Chain A
Amino acid sequence: MTIAEKILAAHASKSKVKPGEFINVKVDLVMAHDLTAGIAVDQFNKIGINKVFDPKKVVFVMDHFVPNKDVVEAEQVKSLREFAKKHHLLFFEAGDAGIEHVILPEKGLVLPGDLVVGADSHTCTYGALGAFSTGMGSTDIAVAMATGEIWMKVPPTIKFVYHGNLKRWVGGKDLILYTIGQIGVDGALYSTMEFTGEVIDKLSMDSRFTMANMAIEAGAKAGIFKVDQKTLEYVKKRAKRPYKIYETDETEEYSQIMEYDVSNIEPQIAFPHSPENTKPVSQVGDIKIDQVVIGSCTNGRLDDLRDAAMILDKKKIHKEVRCIVIPGSQEVYLNALKEGLIERFIKAGAIVSTPTCGPCVGGHMGVLASDEKCISTTNRNFIGRMGSPKAEIYLANPAVAAASAITGKITDPEEV
Chain B
Amino acid sequence: MIKGRVHKYGANIDTDGIIPARYANLSDPYELGKHCMENIDVNFSKRVKLGDIIMATTNFGCGSSREIAPISIKGAGISCVIAKSFARIFFRNAINIGLPLIESKDAVDNTDNGNELEIDLSSGKIKNLTKDKIFTAIPYPDFVRELISAGGLIEYTRKRLKIGGK
Contact = CB atoms under 8 A, between A and B. Distances in A.
Interface of A: 22, 34-36, 38-39, 42-43, 46-49, 64-65, 72-73, 76, 118-121, 123, 135-140, 142-143, 146-147, 151, 153, 185-186, 189-190, 216, 219, 221, 274, 361-363, 380, 382-385, 389
B130 interface: no
A49 B20 contact: no
Nearest 3 A-B pairs (CB), nearest first? A384-B39, A137-B93, A139-B96
B64 interface: yes
Contact of B21 (A38, A72, A142, A361): A361
Given A48-B163, A49-B161, A151-B143, A138 B67 contact: yes
Contacts of B22: 362-363
Given A47-B157, A363-B22, A385-B21, 12 more contacts: A36-B65, A38-B25, A48-B163, A65-B25, A137-B66, A153-B141, A186-B59, A189-B85, A361-B21, A363-B21, A382-B16, A384-B20
Contacts of A35: 21, 24-25, 66
Contacts of A123: 65
17 contacts: A64-B21, A65-B25, A73-B25, A121-B63, A135-B65, A137-B66, A139-B67, A185-B12, A186-B12, A216-B63, A219-B59, A219-B62, A361-B24, A361-B64, A362-B20, A384-B20, A389-B20
Contacts of A274: 12
Interface of B: 11-12, 14, 16-17, 20-22, 24-27, 38-40, 58-59, 62-68, 85, 87-89, 92-93, 96-97, 141, 143, 152-154, 157-158, 160-161, 163
Contacts of B96: 137, 139-140
Nearest to A220: B88
B89 A135 contact: yes
A142 B67 CA distance: 12
B83 to A, nearest CB: 11
A185 B27 contact: no
Given A22-B143, A36-B65, A363-B21, A189 B153 contact: no
Given A136-B92, A137-B96, A383-B17, A36 B66 contact: yes
A116 to B, nearest CB: 13
Given A48-B158, A65-B25, A389 B141 contact: no
Contact of A382 (B17, B27, B88, B143): B17
Given A139-B93, A219-B88, A385-B16, A47 B158 contact: yes
A370 B154 CA distance: 41
A39 B21 contact: no
Residue in B11, B25, B26, B85 whose Cβ sees the most chain A Cβ within 10 Å: B25
